[in-house]
Amino acid sequence: MKIVKKILIVLAIIIAIPLIIALFVKKDYAVQREVTIDKPKQEVFDYIKYLKNQDNYSKWNKIDPEMKKSYKGTDGTVGFISRWESNKKEVGWGEQEIKKITEGERIDFELRFIKPFEATEPAYMTTEAVIENQTKVVWGFSGHMNYPMNLMLLFMDMEEMIGGDLETGLNDLKTILEQR
């Protein structure tokens, strides 16, 4: 009986330690990348405000160019929804909705992931004139993991995981727009 009691105590400690650690781990993360494009700010903004244009520069579209897509609403306006379905784990299923547009400055999205996991996270793109024909574009993404799932943030480098994809997309956006 003493052995069973000791085993139960050890198991309780093994379970309790990660739960206690998770109390002190951050729950939020944010990742953003930027690129400077040699085009006027309004021209850049007029391109990025259309979600369908992300098909041309998003890394996720390149991972699965055959994914099923559907749209609802008028692209480039608040309420437009772009939905995707992919059998590739890195892409999954989800949708993106334009939540707010500050004309010429910023577009806010809501990403709703369905598969392989469920989450709703905000994302945005901003444009800022550097000089007359040069624009800085920032693409950002943030997220939240509730306790005790936030413990995973100790083992996941969101900067590396998402940041590299944002950077690839922005570099492709730069190439596309500068060739126009």
The band of 153, judged by pLDDT with boundaries at 50, 70 and 90, is: low
What percent of the chain shows pLDDT beyond 90?
57
| Degrees to nearest 5, angle at CA 60 with 56 and 64 | 90
If you average pLDDT over every residue of the chain, what do you get? 90
Q: pLDDT for 19-75, tens place per residue?
A: 777 778 788 878 999 999 999 999 999 999 999 999 999 988 888 988 999 999 999
Say if pTM beats, i.e. exceeds, 0.85: no
At 160, which amino acid appears?
Answer: E
User: Domains in the chain and their CATH numbers?
Assistant: 27-178 (3.30.530.20)
Q: Are the beta carbons of 48 and 125 closer than 8 angstroms? A: yes
- C-alpha 49/C-alpha 52 separation (Å) is 9
Say what the pLDDT of residue 169 is. 95
Highest mean pLDDT among 4-13, 32-41, 155-164: 32-41
The first and second tokens of residue 174, run together, are 């730069």
Q: pLDDT for 82-101, tens place per residue?
A: 999 999 888 999 999 999 99
